[in-house]
Amino acid sequence: MTLAMKRDDITLLEQVLICPQCIISVMGDHAGEGVDAIFHRKVADIKRTEKTFWVIKSSKARPAQVQSLCKKTPAYTIFVEPATRGGARPTTREDAAKEYSENGQVWHRLPEGIGPVTGKIDASAAALVFDMMTTVVNGTLDLWDYGDFSDIQKPLKFMLGCSTFCAIRKKMTPHPERMISRYRGILAVARLAEPYCVWLR
C-alpha cells in the first residue's frame, strides 16, 4: 500500500509503542467495505489533503477525552485485530457527514478533496483526525500493558459499542478484570492531528 508518510515506518511504530498514552481501536469491516479498502481510502485522503477523518462510536473515546489525551503529548492510534476472526461486528450504516466541529458549537464543512466520511451519523457521531497513517507494520500489542485513560485503575474492556479506547500505558497483568485475549495483531498505526477528534453531522 502507498504510504501517506515520509519517515521510516518502523520508526513510527516504535514511537507509537513507547508513547505513554494512545488510542487503541479494534478494526472491523464497514458497510460491506473490507479493512484493506478502508485503510487504502484513508491513506489516499492524507495524500490529497494532508488529513483524514475516521468515524468512531465509542463511549471511551469522545472528542473531549481524545483532545485531552492529545494535548499532553504527541498521540497516535493503534488499530488492532479483534480477538477472533470476524469478532468485530461490521457496521451497516453508511450515512455521509458533511460538517465537523471541535466543540459541538462552531461547525465547518469537511475539507475539499476528502473522501466520504461515512457511518452512523447521529448526535453522538465523532471522528478521529489523522495526518499520517501506515499499514506497513509487523507487530503484536499486549493489551495488558494499557489501562483506561479515564480511570487508570481499570483495564481496557472492549465490547459492543466500545471498540475504541483512550488508553494509558499501565501494567494490568494482576488486575482481575483484565481482558482474556491480551495479544492482538497490529493492523495499522496513525498519528493524530489537530483538532484530534471532532463531532460530525
Q: Residue 176: which region, alpha, beta or left (left: phi > 0; alpha: psi -120 to 50)?
A: alpha
Instruction: Look at residue 59 and tell me if it is in a domain.
Output: yes
Assigned domain for 3 exists: no
Give yes or no for residue 111 having a pLDDT over 70: yes
- Predicted pLDDT at 3: 41
Q: Is residue 97 part of a domain?
A: yes
Report if residue 117 sits inside a domain: yes
For residue 89, the model assigns a pLDDT of 56
Residue 160 lies in a domain: yes
Distance CA(97)–CA(78), nearest Å, equals 24
pLDDT at site 90: 56
Q: Classify residue 4: in a domain, yes or no.
A: no
| 30 — pLDDT class (breaks 50, 70, 90) | low
| Mean per-residue pLDDT, 139-156 | 95
Instruction: Give the mean pLDDT of 132-151.
Output: 94
1: in domain: no
What is the C-alpha separation between 53 and 196, in angstroms, rounded?
Answer: 9
Q: Which residue segment(s) compose the domain that 158 sits in?
A: 9-200
Question: How many folded domains does the chain comprise?
Answer: 1
**In the chain, how many H helices and how many E strands?**
3, 13
pLDDT band with cut points at 50, 70 and 90 for residue 17: confident
pLDDT at res. 33: 82
Task: Give pLDDT, residue 34.
Answer: 87
Cα–Cα distance for residue pair 136/7, rounded to 1 Å? 12
